Amino acid sequence: MTRYIDVPALARLVNRKGLPTCLGEMAEYIRQDYLRWHAFEKCPRLANHSPDGVIELMPVSDASLYAFKYVNGHPKNTHDGLLTVMAFGALGDVDTGTPVLLSEMTLTTAIRTAATSALAARYLAREGSRSMALIGNGSQSEFQAIAFHTLLGIDEVRLFDIDRAASEKLAANLAGYPQLKLAIATSVAEAVRGADIVTTVTADKAYATILSPEMIEPGMHLNAVGGDCPGKTELHRDIVERARVIVEYEPQSRIEGEIQQLPADSPTTEFWQVVEGSAAGRENAAQVTLFDSVGFAIEDYSALRYVLDVAKALDIGEDIALVPELANPKDLFALLRPVAAERKANAA
């Protein structure tokens, strides 16, 4: 049988554990899997682009589990009452091919993206960082703010979105975190000024300049999340050229990340190298660091592994017959015999 986790079940799981706990525990699962980088079969995600968005398939596997995620990105969807990002995913047993988990991944992706951002900032942000500018206040923004508050101790967040209602929504949703000091800025420049960390998580599928060079101060850590497909960026090229750039998986980031603006031989460091200690994250307090995050399948593998473990521990979700279970595995036709017999009886 396959464990099935739909949206209500995943919401129950998160509420039972608490979102801050889920963020912290999922970040640790992600860290553990990045430490096993060479154990995974990896490839850039497979993408189908259209004028209004993209649909992607993100596969990865190790010797035990095969994982994939189906995910879209359609910024105009909100005008039709639909989510910009929707996703589901699965885990399969490598030895037999049996699907062991089928799960929603829209909410899960929001949690894993924020957990990855905060995990990376542990290695890249200046010690003692306490303030963050959060540019783009859509569906991902609450998770980013709570993750940075929980994992790094960020206690001041300046909010900016071209839609002020989105910032007001974010502020209202974060009212349950009174330790967080929130301020809605009137411009990107105002939000960024003096911030230790700047997170950009905008949705438009365009070469955008959300951050320009004059906004960047020595020692800032930039967490660029929104630029995640070809033709979609958030940072001025000069910023990317001057920063210490950390990516998840360079072959994918060259296609989709901020570094798509740069030559193919521009210097980058992959995150697994920083996690294992073979490369430095931040080299000095004045350095500008950039986590050019596009989302990578290992993070989804970690998230699905976490969801399965917690769902079993808390007895959440249901077991479904996603694939046949047969007395004789060579007799698939046996599944149709009761139907044929029923039709014959009805005809009589």
Just list the catalytic residues: 228
Ramachandran region of residue 295, left (φ > 0), alpha (ψ -120 to 50) or beta? left
Secondary structure letter of residue 262 according to DSSP: S
Pick from 151, 343, 112: nearest CA to 248: 112
And the tokens for 124?
Answer: 């890249």
What is the C-alpha to C-alpha distance for residues 112 and 82, in angstroms, rounded to an integer? 21
Q: Name the token pair of 179.
A: 């330790």
Angle between the N-to-C axes of helices 19-34 and 141-152, in degrees from 0 to 180, rounded to the nearest 10: 80
Max distance between CA atoms of the chain, in angstroms, equals 85
User: How many Cβ atoms sit within 10 Å of the Cβ of residue 78?
Assistant: 15
The residues that bridge with 211 in the sheet, in sequence order, are 235
Q: Is 55 exposed, middle or buried (0-12, 13-18, 19+ CB in 10 A)?
A: middle
φ, ψ dihedrals at 85, nearest 5°? -120, 130
CB 113 within 8 A of CB 140: yes
The structure tokens 């200690």 sit at 277
